[in-house]
Amino acid sequence: MSGIFIKALRFAAEKHTLQRRKGNDKIPYINHPIKVVYILNVTANEPDPELLAAAILHDVLEDTCTTEHEMRAEFGDKITNIVLEVTDDMTMSYDDRKRHQIKRAPTLSDDAKKIKIADKIANIRDILDLPLSWSNRRKRQYFEWSDKVIAGCRGVNPILENIFDDIIKEAMKVVPDN
């Protein structure tokens, strides 16, 4: 296992220590980036330690008090730049952030696209599998929006894209359109 990945895993675990995922089970937040790394590495055969480090860190800037400067000092430019690409601008409204993700997706680097696809796969699986208080309408909106984001991320890993296609089909069948 790569030193840079282990360093990133430790860093992410410390930064997300007190956070919990949305849902009634209050699962530790760190489980989510671990799932994203698992999807990339084990399922989609992506071995690059810097990609996997960026994947484990993908929510740190957005969801913790970590600064870009701190991340750059710890992990350098390549990993930090990938994380920045997948980080939402939290000063924007929710709707603007969602529109921005769709618009920006085709311009992302290949590594950022891979993380984005794996992240959406993990999120959709959680929505389907975990007890959430979301209405079917909200779930369906998330699925439809995710499909639009991933449309701009295609062409980087056929395995990831096929997994996404399968999970989005399942999600659309399971959650009615109403």
Active site residue 62: yes
Mean pLDDT within 13-33: 83
Give the Å distances, CA to CA, from 172 to 29, 52, 121, 163.
26, 29, 13, 14
Active site residue 110: no
pLDDT attached to residue 170: 95
d(CA 20, CA 26): 5
d(CA 11, CA 111): 20
Sketch the domain layout of the chain as residue ranges.
Answer: 3-174
Mean pLDDT within 94-103: 94
pLDDT attached to residue 178: 62
Among candidate residues 50, 62, 88, 170, the one labeled active-site is 62
* Residues 47-93: tens digit of each pLDDT: 999 999 999 999 999 999 999 999 999 999 999 999 999 999 888 99
Q: Specify the residue for token string 């599998």.
A: 129
Superfamily of structural domain 3-174: Hypothetical protein af1432 (1.10.3210.10)
Among candidate residues 48, 50, 63, 74, the one labeled active-site is 63
